[in-house]
Amino acid sequence: MQHVPHRICAALAWLPMPGKWAVPRPPDLPNRDFRAWCVDRCVDEGRKAAMRWLIEFVGVRLDRNDEPAPTKPHENGKSVTIGQVGGSMFDTKMKRQDARKLAKIWQACTQASLHPTADTNHAPLEPRDLANTLWIVIDHLETALYKPSDRDLWKIVREQEELAIAREHSRQMSKKAPRMQSHHSNRAF
């Protein structure tokens, strides 16, 4: 289930998370630079999509009565939840307060980023709100899916993303290698 760590990584970016989960904004990234501002927007929009995905995956959405409800599988049969990969769905009845937070952020992410809308009056999506919600999701993923299988979610997130970094670096280097060879082969010695 490589999609879960990938989404956690996307959601973590620059949120005020505790301890080992902290991925702060690099201090050397300029604050008043258009290019850096565009990167910030990418992080913000990507985080909303990742958060919505994670909340749906653990099994929470907002129903038509503005109440937290279990995720319904999509009619096409291609959607997947934690329950389908060996974990347990988030209990929207027993964990009502946390389920409400998750559902409100799920709705806010949907309205703020995944559908073109205006004047939705959605829940705040400030970094602190998102960090608190992500912490609920991470806690559920750890207790309902990863720890029962004796797996360390944080370690998996780090290792999977480090491998992705290495693959991308290797891909970049292999693209440069042919150009460097052809450049050197044109030299007269």
Q: Where are the domains of the chain?
A: 3-185
Mean pLDDT by 10 residues, the chain (189 residues): 90 95 92 92 93 96 93 82 93 95 94 72 86 97 96 95 90 75 49
Helices (H) and strands (E) in the chain — how many of each?
Answer: 5, 2
H/E element, 38: helix 34-58
Cα–Cα distances in angstroms (integers) from residue 119 to residues 98, 100, 112, 123, 183, in the given order: 26, 21, 10, 12, 56
* pLDDT value of position 181: 53
Structure-token pair, residue 102: 């998750």
Query: How far is 56 from 41, CA to CA, in rounded Å?
Result: 23
